[in-house]
Chains A and B, each alone.
Chain A
Amino acid sequence: MSPATQTQTQSRHPAPPAGAAAGAAAPNLLYTEEETALRQAVRSLLEDQAGWRDVLARSESDQTYDAGLWQKLAQQVGCAGLLVPEDAGGAGASYREAAVVAEELGRSAAAVPFLGSAVVATAALLSVGDELLAEVASGAVTAALAVPFATAPGVRPAPTVRIDGPAPGDAAGTYRLTGTVTGIADALPADVLLVPADGVPYGLYAIRADEAGVTAAPVTSLDMTRQLCDLTLEGVPARQVAAGEAARQAVETAVAAGAGILASEQLGIAERCLEMTVTYVKERRQFARVVGSFQAIKHRLADLYVTVVQARAVARYAAECLAAGSPDTPVAIALAKATCSDVALKAAQETIQLHGGIGFTWEHPAHLYLKRAKADSIGFGTADAHRGSLAVLADLPPAGAEGA
């Protein structure tokens, strides 16, 4: 039985450990046994198939996404349907489990569209209960939400796709989409694209990626382990997934979920960078000492460890809030994305510095993490944007604004 299958049969929201009752409603920030089992399954697959040399080689190939690995992760381990209830064809797990998978993917920087398909697109489909859900959950179909990766929660992207009327001969309910969306993550390997489009009615539309009139142009990306694409649509036939407020809600929910789970990916990056660097400074000798014995190095790594501890607590909190549908979810996501963006980037930068020259070479994984960390820090809202949203969420208005 795969760990993902086990999560189906066990309790979905395990109780906090006995004795943690100080606050009866305290969110569980630990990892459950099922989550740990899922982590092990994902890690062993990634260690086997996505070592850093594989990841680096793929980033320089024509197929920057690893379709074979994604199929195994999606279908064998069951990662594609974690968020989808069992009666809708999914694994009936939650954002807590999705966050654990994201941590592992951050550790490996593997190029699979888990975030785009199993989290962001799935969150949009779940929000409206769309018919595509079962196929996406099974891994048979890979989907992506066509918004720029840099979209922050609460910020509606400027309309760049418009709705034209049905073309002559179109079946009832067919719409035609025309326009461009730039810098989309995880769309290159997608079979179906969910496109927000302006017009009457504003809506979220599904198109097939192989439809005539669709051009998904690969972008040379800062992070080639998650290659972006620019999408151009010329009168592409589309099915309406949702319209009006329901569509806006679906897009907003999806971007927020993306930001929240990306924080766990960033935690994974930071954790891996810290481990890698600690291992290295215990081996590397200069001045006839291992460099990890110098206090200047020890203190930097102690400080980095402290930030990883903080990042883990807040990433878990965001995952738990998303899973429980907590009213504090927007605050949790803003806290997590603001914090983990900075922590992952700091960890990747320290990795290069503390490795010295070797860390600055192409033939070392440090630059993969640096680029992933920097791109992730912009994806679904910068740290600054998320702190900015706390101005409203935490009632800390800017200068020039009157108090509440």
Chain B
Amino acid sequence: MLNADSADSAGSEVTAADDLRRQVRGFLEAHEAAQTDRLEFLRARFDAGLAWMHYPAGLGGQGLPRSLQPVVDEQFAAAGAPTNRPERNAIGLGMAAPTILAFGTPEQKERWLRPLWTGEEVWCQLFSEPGAGSDLAGLATRAVRDGDEWTVNGQKVWTSSAHIAQRAILVARTDPSLPKHQGLTYFSVDMKAAGVEVRPLRQATGEAEFNEVFLTDVRIPDADRIGEVGQGWAVSNATLMNERVSIGGGAAPRESGSIGQAARTWREHPELRTPGLHERILRLWTETEVARLAGVRLRQQLAAGQPGPEGSAAKLVFAKLNQDVTEFEVELAGPDGLRYADWSMRRPDGANYFNRDAGYRFVRSKGNSIEGGTSEILRNIIAERVLGLPLEPRVDKDVPWKDLPR
């Protein structure tokens, strides 16, 4: 029966795909890619409902399954059409947009989604704070209501893209007298507003992928609040849920990533091999390939509509393996492992693992078990939500936030 159903839905997807191809052809006839201004082209594509196919009509999409997106993207790419440079706006596209779609007012969706999709407005995420890492709900940035506006003061940290962003999503504390989860509210902020100061945050690798953002008496119109006052935790969770969904991606081939670099070095440099290192590379190669297969299986589960709890396991494994493999790489390099390409302060576009030396990968990988959920928090999540073990004792759940020890 399952086969019959999937054959039906596959059939209707084929029809929808043909229809979309016709639409894109028509669009490209009316807006010749080479002759049209880049932004004009992208805005027109959004207005034609050919931007993100799973978004509703009128907001750049047609309410179609996500699986049809490649049909459209491939045809635009083949025509040499300009892209919206999604790599520059990962937070905007992957996290801010779905949150706006779920919780924004019609006016907010109208105002923000088009420039977000075209890339005119890059978004960043003002969530983590120096005093609120794993315990995000304990955050201290204050937003105080003042008529039709809010005044915001606080400090955010580990903010990707803040230095190129026009807008941000922000969670701030609006009622310190309530327990921590209840006193939060979610906003959108103009990053060019007075009182927003972005400073590079230099990391252990020497460069600064991230930023610190200082908010001093920043005025936010109440019209830019997303969701109800006090609903900030629920809205933030929706955002973070999207972070987990967007981690997916396509199945990488065997020997992609750090293990591929290590294996190439191993093959090209017989003089570096020792019996102990041989044992280690066989182990690491095996573990990496098995983790890759687990990723393939996870995607098949998601595609078959059986979202398994295995997703939480994937990041835990990736972080540990990447650390183990890169540590191995530096040791394999021998005397060259003592050299490092460049400690100078720079602003890269993001983590670039693969045109860099092993030393960089070794140092950068230490962030893998911290960013996007520490390995300790992930183990709690697996133990509690997957295995059903008792929750950690929560001494801060029912106490007004202002009375918590800090």
With a cutoff of 8 Å between Cβ atoms, the chain A residues found around residue B317 in the complex are 306, 310
Q: Which residue of B lies closest to A332 (CB)?
A: B293
CA distance A14 to B6 in the complex (A): 12
B268 to chain A, nearest CB (A): 6
Contact A29 B293 (CB under 8 A): yes
Q: Which residue of B lies closest to A289 (CB)?
A: B390
One of A130-138, A157-165, A251-259, A292-300 contacting the partner: A292-300
B8 to chain A, nearest CB (A): 10
Contact A401 B290 (CB under 8 A): no
With a cutoff of 8 Å between Cβ atoms, the chain A residues found around residue B283 in the complex are 387
Does A404 reach chain B (CB closer than 8 Å)? yes
With a cutoff of 8 Å between Cβ atoms, the chain A residues found around residue B207 in the complex are none
Contact B303 A17 (CB under 8 A): yes
Contact A299 B303 (CB under 8 A): no
Which of B6, B274, B380 is the one whose CB lies under 8 Å from A298? B380
B contact face: mostly helix, strand, loop, or mixed: helix
Does A26 reach chain B (CB closer than 8 Å)? yes
Does A68 reach chain B (CB closer than 8 Å)? no
Contact A290 B379 (CB under 8 A): no
Q: Which residue of B lies closest to A316 (CB)?
A: B297
Contact A310 B294 (CB under 8 A): yes
Contact A396 B266 (CB under 8 A): yes
Assess A309 versus B294: contact at CB under 8 Å? Given A17-B303, A298-B380, A403-B267: yes
With a cutoff of 8 Å between Cβ atoms, the chain A residues found around residue B370 in the complex are none
Does A357 reach chain B (CB closer than 8 Å)? no
With a cutoff of 8 Å between Cβ atoms, the chain A residues found around residue B277 in the complex are 399
CA distance A390 to B285 in the complex (A): 9
B308 to chain A, nearest CB (A): 8
CA distance A7 to B266 in the complex (A): 46
Contact B290 A335 (CB under 8 A): yes
CA distance A179 to B290 in the complex (A): 41
Q: Which residue of A lies closest to B1 (CB)?
A: A33
Which of A290, A313, A398, A403 is the one whose CB lies under 8 Å from B297? A313
B315 to chain A, nearest CB (A): 10
Does B316 reach chain A (CB closer than 8 Å)? yes
Contact B297 A15 (CB under 8 A): no
Contact B299 A397 (CB under 8 A): no
B61 to chain A, nearest CB (A): 18
Contact B304 A396 (CB under 8 A): no
Contact B282 A396 (CB under 8 A): yes
Q: Which residue of B lies closest to A295 (CB)?
A: B392
Contact B270 A402 (CB under 8 A): yes
Assess A19 versus B67: contact at CB under 8 Å? Given A290-B390, A390-B285, A398-B278: yes
Does A288 reach chain B (CB closer than 8 Å)? no
Does B36 reach chain A (CB closer than 8 Å)? no
Does B2 reach chain A (CB closer than 8 Å)? yes
Does B405 reach chain A (CB closer than 8 Å)? no
Interface residues of B in 261-282 (CB under 8 A from A): 263, 266-270, 273-275, 277-279, 281-282
Does A18 reach chain B (CB closer than 8 Å)? yes
Q: Which residue of B lies closest to A32 (CB)?
A: B2
Contact B270 A301 (CB under 8 A): no
Does A222 reach chain B (CB closer than 8 Å)? no
Assess A396 versus B383: contact at CB under 8 Å? Given A18-B6, A335-B289, A335-B290: no
Does B245 reach chain A (CB closer than 8 Å)? no
CA distance A314 to B286 in the complex (A): 10
CA distance A370 to B290 in the complex (A): 24
Contact B286 A338 (CB under 8 A): yes
Contact B6 A396 (CB under 8 A): no
B166 to chain A, nearest CB (A): 33
A156 to chain B, nearest CB (A): 22
Q: Which residue of A lies closest to B382 (CB)?
A: A302
A400 to chain B, nearest CB (A): 7
Which of B270, B273, B386, B390 is the one whose CB lies under 8 Å from A305? B386
Does A166 reach chain B (CB closer than 8 Å)? no
CA distance A297 to B9 in the complex (A): 45
Does A114 reach chain B (CB closer than 8 Å)? no
Does A155 reach chain B (CB closer than 8 Å)? no
With a cutoff of 8 Å between Cβ atoms, the chain B residues found around residue A20 in the complex are 299-300, 303-304
Annotate B238-279 by CB proximity to A: 1 below 8 A, 0 otherwise.
Answer: 000000000000110000000000010011111001110111
Which of A313, A390, A402 is the one whose CB lies under 8 Å from B294? A313
CA distance A398 to B272 in the complex (A): 11
Assess A278 versus B389: contact at CB under 8 Å? Given A15-B3, A30-B301, A313-B297: yes
Assess A394 versus B285: contact at CB under 8 Å? Given A28-B300, A293-B389, A403-B268: yes
Does B310 reach chain A (CB closer than 8 Å)? yes
With a cutoff of 8 Å between Cβ atoms, the chain B residues found around residue A388 in the complex are 282
Contact A303 B379 (CB under 8 A): yes
Which of A299, A303, A404 is the one whose CB lies under 8 Å from B267? A404
Which of A17, A289, A314 is the one whose CB lies under 8 Å from B6? A17
Does A16 reach chain B (CB closer than 8 Å)? yes
Which of A23, A313, A339, A396 is the one whose CB lies under 8 Å from B278? A396
Does A284 reach chain B (CB closer than 8 Å)? no
Contact A396 B285 (CB under 8 A): yes
Annotate A367-404 by CB proximity to B: 1 below 8 A, 0 otherwise.
Answer: 00000000000000000000110110011111111111
CA distance A316 to B6 in the complex (A): 22
Annotate B11-48 by CB proximity to A: 1 below 8 A, 0 otherwise.
Answer: 00100000000000000000000000000000000000
Contact B275 A282 (CB under 8 A): no
Does A1 reach chain B (CB closer than 8 Å)? no
CA distance A282 to B388 in the complex (A): 9
B341 to chain A, nearest CB (A): 25
CA distance A289 to B391 in the complex (A): 12
With a cutoff of 8 Å between Cβ atoms, the chain B residues found around residue A312 in the complex are 294, 297
Contact B389 A22 (CB under 8 A): no
Question: Which A-B residue pairs are the 3 nearest by beta carbons?
Answer: A17-B304, A298-B383, A293-B390
9 contacts between A and B (CB under 8 A): A17-B303, A18-B9, A19-B304, A298-B383, A305-B313, A305-B387, A309-B313, A335-B289, A399-B277
11 A-B pairs besides A18-B6, A19-B304, A400-B273 with CB distance below 8 A are: A18-B9, A278-B388, A309-B294, A310-B287, A310-B290, A312-B297, A313-B290, A334-B286, A335-B293, A390-B286, A403-B270
Chain A interfacial positions (CB closer than 8 Å to B):
11, 14-20, 22-23, 26-30, 33, 278, 281-282, 289-290, 292-293, 295, 297-299, 301-303, 305-306, 309-310, 312-314, 316-317, 334-335, 338-339, 387-388, 390-391, 394-404
